[in-house]
């Protein structure tokens, strides 16, 4: 089954919003799905028109199976002191259950990092939560380092960051093997009907979006 990774387009917005909201509801059942999420309500302005916004999709035979994005970081966590670099926040990583644990999340982030570097982005920020199994470890494998863990017994919000200047050889190899719009069966990793067998994924639970206070969940 061929998979293509490509930037989101205007005509895909309704399907993307539905996919993200469904993923968020499963990941964060404690959050009210009726609360509008500003980035999704203003999808065009946030991800397609803004120079510090970008949204990637993965499709399998025309069906949306995964997403990832970045948007401008608004410095709402003052205690993190991330400086004045050009920073974006990584958000909206969701992978359909059938495609988890096959390397798709890693491939998506590699493509996202490649785009950010081309756009002149200097640093990534994200936050995740330990109750999302494997999430912190996944982002550490993508080169993120720990900034802070909030002292909250339920959420334990974990803040992480990574420089965007340059890519590792591993990332460049992934990018070379996954040009947007090309089928993944051309990649030399072990291909199966479910994807790749490098298990470099997080069960699709790697982050992010909703509205809990001033966080993006």
**Range 183-216 burial, b when 16+ CB lie within 10 A, else e:** ebeebebeeeeebbeeebbbbbbbbbbbeeeebb
Higher pLDDT, 201 or 145: 145
pLDDT at 187 over 60: no
Give the CATH class of 3-216: alpha beta
**Quick one: pLDDT at residue 197?**
27
In the structure, what pLDDT confidence band is assigned to residue 201 with cuts at 50, 70 and 90? Answer: very low
Q: Please give the helix or strand (H or E) that residue 40 lies within, else none.
A: helix 38-41
Mean pLDDT of the chain: 80
Is residue 126 within 8 Å of 90, Cβ to Cβ?
Answer: yes
Handedness of CA 205, 135, 85, 118 (dihedral sign): negative
State yes or no: pLDDT of 35 exceeds 60.
Answer: yes
Higher pLDDT, 159 or 195: 159
Instruction: Name which of 23-27, 80-84, 186-190 the model is least confident about.
Output: 186-190
For position 102, what pLDDT does the model report? 81
Half-sphere exposure of 204 (CA within 13 A, CB side): 19
pLDDT value of position 166: 58
Mean pLDDT of 176-190: 36
Taking the C-alpha atoms of residue 195 and residue 179, their distance in angstroms, rounded to an integer, is: 16
The mean pLDDT of 96-106, rounded to a whole number, is: 89
Q: Give residue limits of the domains in the chain.
A: 3-216
Q: Which residues pair with 89 in a beta bridge?
A: 71, 125
Report the first-to-last Cα separation within the chain, whole angstroms.
Answer: 31
**Is the confidence at residue 76, as pLDDT, over 60?**
yes
Q: Which residue has the higher pLDDT, 213 or 117?
A: 117
Its pTM stands at: 0.78
Cα 103 to Cα 170: distance, rounded to the nearest angstrom: 13
Give the Å distances, CA to CA, from 205 to 1, 8, 65: 23, 21, 14
Cα dihedral: 27, 80, 171, 187 (round 10): 10
- Residue pLDDT, tens place only, 37-72: 999 999 999 999 999 999 999 999 899 999 999 999
pLDDT given for residue 100 in this prediction: 86
- Predicted confidence at residue 45, as pLDDT, reads 98
């Amino acid at each position: 089954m061929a998979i293509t990774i490509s930037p989101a387009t205007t005509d895909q917005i309704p399907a993307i919003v539905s996919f993200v909201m469904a993923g968020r509801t499963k990941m964060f059942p404690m959050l009210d799905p009726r609360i509008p999420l500003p980035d999704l309500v203003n999808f065009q302005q946030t991800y397609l028109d803004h120079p510090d916004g970008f949204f990637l999709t993965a499709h399998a035979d025309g069906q949306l199976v995964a997403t990832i994005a970045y948007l401008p970081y608004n410095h709402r966590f003052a205690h993190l002191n991330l400086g004045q670099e050009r920073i974006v926040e990584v958000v909206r990583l969701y992978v359909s259950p059938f495609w988890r644990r096959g390397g798709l999340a890693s491939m998506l982030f590699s493509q996202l990092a490649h785009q950010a570097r081309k756009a002149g982005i200097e640093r990534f920020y994200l936050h995740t939560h330990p109750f999302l199994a494997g999430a912190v470890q996944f982002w550490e494998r993508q080169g993120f380092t720990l900034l802070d863990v909030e002292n909250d017994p339920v959420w334990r919000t974990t803040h992480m960051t990574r420089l965007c200047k340059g890519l590792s050889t591993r990332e460049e190899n992934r990018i070379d093997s996954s040009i947007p719009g090309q089928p993944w069966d051309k990649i030399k990793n072990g291909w199966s009907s479910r994807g790749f067998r490098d298990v470099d994924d997080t069960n699709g639970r790697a982050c992010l979006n909703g509205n809990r206070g001033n966080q993006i969940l």
